[in-house]
Amino acid sequence: MRRARLLAVTAALVCAGVTAAALPAGAAADSPRPERIPLPGSAPVWTAAQAYDEGRVPASSAVTARVYLAGRDSAGLAARARQVSDPRSALYAHYLTPQQVQQRYAPTQAQRDAVAAWLTGAGFRIVAIDSHYLTVHGNADSALRAFGARLHAYRKQGHVWTAPDGLTSVPANVAGDVLAVTGLDTSPHQVRHGRRDTLPGPATAFVNAPPMSSYYGQDPASSTPKAYGRTMPYVVKGYTGTQLRSAYGATASGLTGKGVRVAVVDAYDSPTLLSDTSRYAAAHGDAAYTTGQLVRDDATAWTNTEPNTPKTPDGCGASGWYGEQTLDVEALHAMAPAAGITYVGAASCQDNDLVDALNKIVDNRLATIVSDSWGEPENASDPSQDPVYDQLFMTGAVEGIGFYFSSGDDGDEKAATGTKQTDVPASLPWVTAVGGTSLAVGSKGQYEFETGWGTDKALLSANGKSWANLPGAFLSGGGGGVSARTAEPFWQQNVVPSALSGGYRTVPDVAADADPNTGFVIGQTQTFPNGKAAYSEYRIGGTSLAAPLFAGIQALAEQAAGQSLGFADPAIYARYGTSALHDVTDTPQGSNVQLAEVRVDYRDSVDTKDGTVTSLRALGHDSSLHATSGYDEVTGVGSPSGQYLASFGTKG
């Protein structure tokens, strides 16, 4: 998986109460302080341990912020989202239209006017208003007056960013109208405004090296040393849609996703997407795209397209997203060949732009299933965005829209960040977190087994006679664990062991194939060392594969059910412990049998010019996480079996 760089959100809940905030500039010391309400999660996390405080910024320092509107009846929205999502509720699947949502829950004109008057009175200039937020320009003095926010300069990794030195707050008389304020923290999870970029060409090429198998175990690596007492097989060259549909029961079901539309949200938009996906479908026996089946809805302008480097730390590396987008679309189409696909391209990989893309789907109900292959470690997130995402996902649930997020590719994140943590938005309460497995598909497309995705890598010794330091070092694995900030949702309470959750949200919910060594073959235009761009195919994995695979399976389930499944976690967990789900473990062939594969890679990623590297990839070794019987932090409640689709009926 090529990880998309979103500094996503979630936050600790802070009890709202009346507090004293900073005095407006120029106020007398003995003046009565106005009542103010703190905004939950508005204190940046990274400033405490990851940065050096260089003190207050000048009062004239420019500030751009978004003030999100709370709308009407937030409690009613949350209650309705639960009712329509819970199969035990009398209102299950009784969704509202976007128009009904607007009438019941959208901000009123009076709320907009009150918020606008407060902001302009503090010295801000309103530069944009939409149905969700107001964008304002001002300075640090305006921010102090409006939000009680003392803005400081913090040095982090050679760059200076501005952020509040604690919780921000709003006057009590508009507290019910304000959902969140973003932009006061200018570190890279915030978009850089006002820059228009052009998209770069295709990304640098990657090519898989042989030997490779067509199905799991086909080609034993007999020329390499045995491992764990056995000759291990070479990795697969990449499963096709035909193989994955067969293994997960889609072929036997006869379902195609007809009548269902799935949205894919990523940053940017590959200039070769249409030609690549059409060529790929024809090459692998997938159904040809019909007129209007694949549509694109892009942002009006692109920003932050440059690579992420020390000089451009807020760069998103636009061309790196093309493979992500191509994977998502091709995997979805392979699994649900008759489903409609709407690709929504965000202006950048920053939170606000991705929120805009998601809101576009919800405001217009562009799809009932949304595949999102992006996320970031929880501690790297901007907590002020947490209520924005939660409101968005609850609104989607009320309309019958389900959001499926990849759980991450670094296991418990400790190896990558130094701290055990989950990824977000996967650990937010109103999304389905999709974890990863290593899938073995047999010669006839049959499901053989799955392990939790977790890879230890051991290199072939210099003399070629042994594997160095078995099982090797942790390389990658399905993201999972317990959130430090999101409370345990109702649908996990009778499934996830309390000793594991501790009262908090546990990730993932469900899982599908993600291991790059048992991954999916995709076709994409890439740039080769000679500077020429050409279509080529290669194997890819990560929970960026698992998310669209499972979203495709959900499209089939919606066809079977004859209705939208909306936020599906309560329905998925209701199937826990039944034949609808594989109970995936790390040792499917017994506790004494260690599974592994042999992989050969080009040193230069494209050809034999600089030689090759041979390694052994042990399966079922996911950092500190383990796939065990029952719910676990690698695969959740398991992966869909052939009975999963049948459990939703046959109305399609």
CB 349 within 8 A of CB 316: yes
Peptide bond into 425 cis (omega under 30): yes
What confidence category does residue 312 fall into, taking pLDDT thresholds of 50, 70 and 90?
confident
Asked if the model's pLDDT at residue 3 lies above 50, the reply is no
Instruction: Judge whether residue 234 has pLDDT over 80.
Output: yes
Q: Is the predicted pLDDT of residue 53 greater than 50, yes or no?
A: yes
**How many percent of the chain have pLDDT more than 70?**
93
Q: What percent of the chain has pLDDT over 90?
A: 86
Instruction: Decide which of 337 and 652 is more confident.
Output: 337
- Angle between the N-to-C axes of helices 74-85 and 98-105, in degrees from 0 to 180, rounded to the nearest 10: 140
Question: Exposure pattern of 613-626 as b/e (b: 16+ CB <10 Å)?
Answer: ebbbbbbbbbbebb
Burial 189-216 (b: 16+ CB within 10 A, else e): bbbeeeeebebbebbebbbbbebbbebb
pLDDT, tens digit, 9 for 90 and up, residues 585-601: 999 999 999 999 999 99
pLDDT of residue 8: 30
Range of 24-38, 182-196, 232-246 with top mean pLDDT: 232-246
Is pLDDT of 34 > 70? Answer: no
Structure confidence at residue 650 as a pLDDT band (50, 70, 90): low
Q: Compute the distance between CA of residue 242 and CA of residue 260 in angstroms, rounded to an integer.
A: 20
Q: Residue ranges of the alpha helices (H) in 237-272?
A: 241-247, 250-253
Range scoring the smallest mean pLDDT among 9-23, 150-164, 296-310 = 9-23
Say how far apart CA 454 and CA 633 lie, in whole Å: 12
| Bridge partners for 234 per DSSP | 598
Q: Which residues are paired to 632 by β-bridges?
A: 636
List pLDDT tens digits, range 598-630.
Answer: 999 999 999 999 999 999 999 999 999 999 999
Which of the two residues, 366 and 313, has the higher pLDDT score?
366
The answer on pLDDT for 196 being more than 70 is: no
Predicted pLDDT of residue 379: 87
Mean pLDDT of the chain: 92
Q: At what angle do helices 386-399 and 74-85 cross, to 10 degrees?
A: 50
pLDDT at residue 367 tops 90: yes
- Residue 360: alpha-carbon gap to chain centroid: 17
Domain boundaries, the chain: 36-71+107-182, 241-581+588-646
Nearest to 337 by CA among 401, 264, 262: 262
Say if residue 279's pLDDT is above 80: yes
Instruction: Name the 3-class secondary structure at 500.
Output: helix
Q: Please say if the pLDDT value at position 261 is more than 90.
A: yes
Three-class DSSP category at 190: coil
Contacts by 294-297, CB closer than 8 A, 24 or more apart: 294/329, 294/333, 294/340, 294/341, 294/343, 295/340, 295/341, 295/342, 295/343, 296/269, 296/342, 296/343, 296/344, 296/345, 297/342, 297/343, 297/344, 297/345, 297/360, 297/366
| Pick from 244, 253, 80, 56: nearest CA to 150 | 56
The H-or-E segment that residue 341 falls in is: strand 340-346
- Average pLDDT for residues 133-145, to the nearest whole number? 97
pLDDT digits (tens, 9 = 90+) for 369-426: 999 999 999 988 888 898 999 999 999 999 999 999 999 999 999 999 899 999 999 9
Q: Return the closest-CA partner of residue 495 out of 630, 643, 635.
A: 630
Least confident of 61-75, 249-263, 378-392: 378-392
CA distance 631 to 510: 9
Residue 233 gets which letter from DSSP?
B
Q: What is the pLDDT of residue 189?
A: 65
Distance between CA atoms of 413 and 423, rounded to whole angstroms? 8
> Can you tell me the mean pLDDT for 352-379?
96
pLDDT value, residue 260: 98
**Any bridge partners for residue 370, and if so which?**
263, 403
Q: What is the pLDDT of residues 430-458, one digit of tens each?
A: 999 999 999 999 999 999 999 999 999 99
Q: What is the pLDDT of residue 197?
A: 57
Query: 251 — phi, psi (to 5°)?
Result: -60, -45
Give the CATH fold of the 241-581+588-646 domain: Rossmann fold (3.40.50)
CA angle, residues 144, 150, 153, in degrees to nearest 5: 130
Long-range CB contacts for residues 24-30, cutoff 8 Å, separation at least 24: 24/122, 24/144, 24/145, 25/59, 25/141, 25/144, 25/145
Exposed/middle/buried for 609, CB within 10 Å: 0-12, 13-18, 19+?
exposed
Encoded tokens for 140 = 């640090």
| DSSP H or E segment with residue 147 | helix 140-147
Average pLDDT for 508-512: 98
**Going edge to edge, which strands form the sheet with 159-164?**
52-56, 151-156, 159-164
Task: Pull the structure tokens for residue 221.
Answer: 């690596």
List 436's β-bridge partners, or say none: 512
Distance of CA 589 to the CA centre of its chain: 31
